[in-house]
Amino acid sequence: MPINFREKEKEFHLYNDSLSYVICVLPNGHIGNLYYGKRLSENMSYAYLLENKYRPLTAYVYEDDDCFSLQHTRQEYASYGSGDMILPAFEISHEDGSHLSHFVFYDYAISKGKPQLSGLPNTYVESDEEATSLELYLKDHNSETELCLTYTIYESRAVITRNAKFTQRGEKELCLKRALSLCLDLPDKDYEWLHLDGAWGRERYLQSSLLHQGSQSIYSLKGASSAEHNPFIALKRPDANEHEGEVMGFSLVYSGNFLAQVDVTPFHQTRVSMGIHPLGFEWYLKSGESFQTPEVVMVYSHLGLNGMSQIYHDLFSQRLARGEWRDRERPILLNNWEAMTFNFNENSILSLAEVAAKLGVELFVMDDGWFGQRNNEKAGLGDWRVNQKKLPNGLLGISQRIHQLGMLFGLWIEPEMVNKDSDLYREHPDWILHHPKHSQSQGRHQYTLDLSREEVYQNIYQQLHDLLANHGIDYIKWDMNRYMTEAYSYHATKEHQGAIFHRYILNLYRLYETLTSEFPHILFESCSSGGARFDPGMLYYAPQTWTSDDTDAYERLKIQYGTSLVYPLITMGNHVSEVPNQQLLRTTPLSTRANVAYFGSFGYEIDLMLLEEEELELIKKEIDFYKNYRRVFQFGNFTRLINPFETDDAAWQVISEDGHHVFVGLYLGLLKLNGPSYHRLHLKGLEAEASYRLNNQVYLGSALMNAGLVINEKDFTEGYKDFASAIYHLEKM
Ligand code: DGJ
């Protein structure tokens, strides 16, 4: 069992080949952290790592032990009020007005496998042999509240997951004001912290800085995980890079408000905290009720950032994503949004579809504009019935024609939203998140439905069920185009108000869970004004996400590079779009747009009717090429090679599951006159002794990795120019 318990020292050691995580019961009964890092021997105690030092004048020590202070002790789920002065993992408001809690360890359980969280997305195992789990039970004797801290260590992945659960066993009601998923104390501060930040159209840009004393945090208060900050951070040793050195990743499996915070104490210890954002959060627990926090997935790598990413990629594609589509190759799609926006009818849709089918497109997606009075952004959301004026033969008519053309049929929905100009709003004006005495903020002329209310949930569920059951739909793009404001639930009790954001997310997950179970053949792609809800919570239900509304190939390099820090290629929806690009007016070669988009779930978002014959020919070739190798591009082992945040260029590679095919993508920014020439690109992860063929030349793996592949101007698909790109295909002999 990769979890050892040493009875005498009350010490738990979670280990596998890559890592060790050692925790213990502290002298006051709380749980402390002794070690997290590279694998240690499981045959000894690490109790010597517990700080036991007299610090006169500077510490708040226990009355009966001058050397024991929470202020200096690394804890696993820290509480505030008894000496620890850093922001805690939780806060409970008790009936007597006290905010003090004292959770003391009383029991534990070790079991094979991984318990699943009820109502929340989480990673899983397919056999109990894949992981071992530890549950630590603590009790606050004052309030009789129970706290269960759950850890799972995977046997052959450098992954530990954590979550916490509160259960009120006493008679009195209490209010949870903060209940994070993770608190981890580390013994020094010599890290850079990395996070993925941005905004609409430039999601998941890589940011990093050295830690400093005090707090540094990222968060979302938007009701969605957001484009501005992804629910992920990493701590990296300053000497670690993409391929070597120690990196720890922390990813929250959640799609709503979150906080990820790193505190460095005056004594240069580091606390990592992660979970639901506590601002405005209140969750009342009556006797017998529980609150379950979302899961945090911790990854440990001593092979740098790529090492960390590959562990996340494997885990998220194989043990987070689920369902029929998890392991299936994803169809090449054509989405009509950039070509038509709201302006289409049955004839124009079918004309576009006919050309798409001829080129080899496999899935035709009809985006926004097919329902209610949806002729612009101002109307229709909420009325999920076909617009007969635009589509006189209904959705079924369209889907049958698309199927006859040999393609799958996909549809866009945005079920969490409503326009005031809609039948749904006219019938139920009180169903939106709003306060009756407060002004309302609109975003894109739309309002957020109060999904925390059961009747709202039921209405949306029924509309979606009817849509999916009766119209020959094979794919759904589930959008969400505004963040939440005025988050007040009309009619609900005072106690309900602090829980709205989380209840909304729980019901969103419930909706996804119900629909994906009822319609397992449908491929779901999540979307939120592009990539504003690209998070592990969504991937549990929808195994791919629209990466960004920014489809400019040059900008996409950064977006896809940053996204790849955590998320596997198969989860990224990447489309070739028209030039000049609709968002940036930049013109990049058609080949570059495809060479960038290949690395993920590939598709087009372009008006094929406006293209020259030559361009259509090129697109047909691209489609044929991708079909031949899509398994590699979607499921291969991905490595970042040149960082577009550090240079104007970018490069990455993917190796097929069987190691036989290697594709390298190389992308240039602006050409440099008389710039550095004769570049060598150092490939990674090849077999040193194996031979690889590239364009009739044979190279040894060791040469390609150590001496490098020499880049030549003639390698670029459409010539050597601004935004040129090349794809190298190496085959192992
Ligand atoms: C935002 C999405 O990101 C786009 O791809 C498109 O579906 C629009 N919404 C439609 O309103």
- From the CB of 603, is ligand 1 less than 6 Å away? no
Please give the average per-residue pLDDT across 32-43, as a whole number.
Answer: 97
- From the CB of 367, is ligand 1 less than 6 Å away? yes
Neighbours of 707 (CB within 10 A): 12
Q: Please list, residue by residue across 106-123, b when 16 or more beta carbons sit within 10 angstroms of its beta carbon and e when fewer do.
A: eebebeebbeebeebbbb
479 among the known binding-site residues?
A: yes
Q: Higher pLDDT residue, 309 or 672?
A: 309
Centre of ligand 1 to C-alpha 367, Å, is 7
**pLDDT, tens digit, for every residue of 690-717?**
999 999 999 999 999 999 999 988 899 8
Helix (H) or strand (E) holding 357: helix 346-359
Please give the average per-residue pLDDT across 155-172, as a whole number.
Answer: 97
d(C-alpha 149, C-alpha 554), whole Å: 45
Q: Report the pLDDT value the prediction gives residue 218, as an integer from 0 to 100.
A: 98
**pLDDT, tens digit, for every residue of 682-694?**
999 999 999 999 9
Cβ atoms of 252 and 275 closer than 8 Å: yes
Looking at the predicted structure, is the pLDDT value of residue 677 above 70?
Answer: no
- From the CB of 507, is ligand 1 less than 6 Å away? no
Which whole-number Å values give the CA distances from 469 to 395, 460, 520, in the listed order?
Answer: 12, 14, 11
d(C-alpha 30, C-alpha 67), whole Å: 16
Of 261, 255, 254, 180, which Cα lies nearest the Cα of 218? 261
Rounded to 5 degrees, what are φ and ψ at 186? -115, 150
Unique residue bearing structure tokens 């850093």:
86
**pLDDT, tens digit, for every residue of 225-236?**
999 999 999 999
- From the CB of 527, is ligand 1 less than 6 Å away? yes
Handedness of CA 638, 516, 230, 92 (dihedral sign): negative
CA-based end-to-end distance of the chain: 41
Q: Which residues contact 175 (CB under 8 A, 6 or more apart)?
A: 92, 93, 282, 283, 284, 285
Which whole-number Å values give the CA distances from 128 to 121, 131, 132, 154, in the listed order?
Answer: 19, 6, 8, 10
Q: Report the pLDDT value the prediction gives residue 428, as an integer from 0 to 100.
A: 98
Token duo for residue 731: 């085959």
Please give the average per-residue pLDDT across 46-70, as a whole number.
Answer: 83
Q: Report the pLDDT value the prediction gives residue 65, as an integer from 0 to 100.
A: 83
Centre of ligand 1 to C-alpha 709, Å, is 40
366 among the known binding-site residues?
A: no
The gap from C-alpha 369 to its chain's centroid, in whole angstroms, comes to 28
Q: Which residues contact 564 (CB under 8 A, 6 or more apart)?
A: 309, 313, 572, 638, 640, 652
Which whole-number Å values give the CA distances from 201 to 103, 443, 549, in the listed order?
Answer: 45, 16, 6
d(C-alpha 147, C-alpha 131), whole Å: 22
| Residue nearest atom 11 in ligand 1 by C-alpha distance | 368
Please give the average per-residue pLDDT across 70-84, as a whole number.
Answer: 92
Cβ atoms of 398 and 349 closer than 8 Å: yes
Angle at Cα 39 formed by Cα 36 and Cα 43, nearest 5°? 105
**pLDDT, tens digit, for every residue of 329-378?**
999 999 999 999 999 999 999 999 999 999 999 999 999 999 999 999 99
Indicate the pTM of the whole model: 0.98
Ordered structural domains, the chain, with CATH? 3-320 (2.70.98.60), 654-732 (2.60.40.1180)
Pocket test for ligand 1, best of 549, 556, 577, 605 (most atoms within 8 A of CB): 549
**pLDDT, tens digit, for every residue of 303-319?**
999 999 999 999 999 99
Looking at the predicted structure, is the pLDDT value of residue 678 above 80?
Answer: no
pLDDT band at 471 (very low <50, low <70, confident <90, very high): very high
Looking at the predicted structure, is the pLDDT value of residue 676 above 70?
Answer: no
- From the CB of 414, is ligand 1 less than 6 Å away? no
Token duo for residue 639: 């490595």
649 among the known binding-site residues?
A: no
d(C-alpha 533, C-alpha 565), whole Å: 16
Looking at the predicted structure, is the pLDDT value of residue 59 above 80?
Answer: no
